[in-house]
Structure 1
């Protein structure tokens, strides 16, 4: 049997924080079948700041029962075409922001999408898992502790 000492274990669902967006206590669904990570966002407005592309949006953080949101701004990384599991293609705004999970913090690219029909407001895809050096135990949930807030963001991190 192979073991990987540099990797840590997470479950199918974990608590995360997005410190640069001021978001803590967000439940994430871990999805190894998705390449890209996704954040539930509405009222998405692109704009320019100092000649650079930015995007302003409402990040939805609560559950269907307990709704809450936060108005956020982030640099625009790209516009990506994402194909869903049923073959439907959609062009989405993409941002990159630090994500805290357990004791780790690293930069992750998120597409902004309406996930109101989904149980989890944040989906963590395989690119983020590889960059964060995580392996998934599909029989476990909430293996890691909730990230402490505020989170210290490392100055040099990889992008997933």
Structure 2
């Protein structure tokens, strides 16, 4: 049997932070069936700053019971057409930002989408799992410790 000693094990649900956006204590659903990661966002507004396309939005962090949000800004990476699991297509803005999970930090691309009917405000897709060198144990939840905020680990920006 092959083993993968260089990979980090995560469960189906994990606590994450988005330090560049000032977001901590966010529960993420790990979804190997989704290619792209997604963040619950509303009031999405594209704008230009110093000749670069950016987007500002409300990132929703709480649950349906305990609502909270944060106004965020990030450079716009792309605009993608995403096909959901139910077959619907939607045009979404894409950002790239640091994601902290346990003591590991790396760059992840997120589509901004309304996920208000979803239990988890952040979905971590397979591209992020590959880039973060993660392997999922589907029988576990919250394997990694909550990221310390502000994140004090060394970021692996630029590494992929």
TM-score by length of 1: 0.97
Q: C-alpha displacement at 1:8, in angstroms? A: 1.0
Residue in 2 aligned with 1:154?
Answer: 155
Once the two structures are superposed, residues 62-101 of structure 1 have per-residue CA deviations (whole angstroms, 9 ceiling, x without a partner) of 0000000000000000001100011111110000000000
Residue in 2 aligned with 1:123?
Answer: 123
State how far apart, in whole Å, the 1-side matches of 2:131 and 2:110 are.
14
Residue in 2 aligned with 1:91?
Answer: 91
Q: Does the aligned pair in 1 maintain the 2:37–2:111 contact within 8 Å?
A: yes
Residue in 2 aligned with 1:137?
Answer: 137
Name the SS for the 2:131 alignment partner: helix
Residue in 2 aligned with 1:64?
Answer: 64
Once the two structures are superposed, residues 23-45 of structure 1 have per-residue CA deviations (whole angstroms, 9 ceiling, x without a partner) of 00000000000000000000000
Once the two structures are superposed, residues 2-54 of structure 1 have per-residue CA deviations (whole angstroms, 9 ceiling, x without a partner) of 10010010000000000000000000000000000000000000000000000
State how far apart, in whole Å, the 1-side matches of 2:89 and 2:51 are.
29
Does residue 51 in structure 1 map to residue 51 in structure 2? yes
RMSD across aligned positions (CA): 1.0
State how far apart, in whole Å, the 2-side matches of 1:151 and 1:145 are.
12
Name the SS for the 2:128 alignment partner: helix
Name the SS for the 2:20 alignment partner: helix
Name the SS for the 2:3 alignment partner: coil
TM-score by length of 2: 0.97
Q: C-alpha displacement at 1:155, in angstroms? A: 6.0
Residue ranges of structure 1 left out of the alignment (5+ in a row): none
Residue in 2 aligned with 1:113?
Answer: 113
Name the SS for the 1:141 alignment partner: coil
Residue in 1 aligned with 2:74?
Answer: 74
Change over 3 Å in CA distance of 1:34–1:155 after alignment to 2: closer
Residue in 1 aligned with 2:103?
Answer: 103
How many residues align? The count is 159
